[in-house]
Chain A
């Protein structure tokens, strides 16, 4: 085991996803570079990664969100950009975590629609979100069938 010296210690990295009919990751990146100050901006196919001090990153995100509030989504990232343990340049194939993003990005237009409609909504109205149904109990006859199948 060798000594581990972390890179970018004390920094915060956030993903900024853009899924908009009016804005591309490149438009977002141009604006981010303008206001980046000392923070690191990495343009990706889905948006950006911003790395810097927590305050600087928060300020950049606040400014970028204003460009298209209903279509820009932000989340934390544990690893800094280009980290050899996560970067596809070293590993090949999809980055771990890609499948989660791929799945959620496929639904995010519904969330954008929800955010767009939110101001029109009466604050007193009760929401009926998609909820998990009652848990399906095991049928007794099916249980007996399973037990019978196990017996020699």
Chain B
């Protein structure tokens, strides 16, 4: 069973398909859960403490906004832990209230830099594309099982 980093990290479709085909999706929820289930000092809303942007320094320089570093403290360790990645490129909702464009660019860069198997796709717009989309993800994930 491989650990597959998914982008967008909050994607329902990717999270489901990766788990459905027998692998472990690495999604934002897991690192958020880890943060909010750890006792400590109150730091609402996500229990991101002042320590987290410091952890993010491993991935982004000090002059980069603390929001990017804070986000990277959640996503960075998952990218390091991943055996493979699936990236959907036309996920416009990943920018705005759910995320930051610069962090998204950095995430995609770091996933590619790891030299792990990466599948890059767009969202399906019709049923034919849906069939190809699901088949591509299945083939990619089955291939990971064989490599392991």
List residues of chain A with CB under 8 Å of any chain B CB. Answer: 1-6, 8-13, 15, 17, 73-79, 83, 85-86, 96-97, 99-101, 103-105, 107-115, 117-118, 121, 125, 127-132
Contacts and interface: CB of A to CB of B under 8 A. Distances in A.
Nearest to B124: A110
A112 B126 CA distance: 11
Nearest to A75: B15
Contacts of B43: 1, 4
Given A1-B41, A107-B13, A114-B130, A78 B33 contact: yes
Nearest to B130: A110
Interface of B: 8, 10-13, 15-17, 19, 25, 27-33, 35-47, 89-90, 92-94, 96-98, 120-127, 129-139
A74 B133 contact: no
Nearest to B40: A4
A118 B138 contact: yes
Contacts of A121: 131, 135
A100 B32 contact: no
B93 A103 contact: yes
A73 to B, nearest CB: 4
A6 B131 contact: no
Contacts of A129: 121-122, 124, 129, 132-133, 135-137
B127 to A, nearest CB: 4
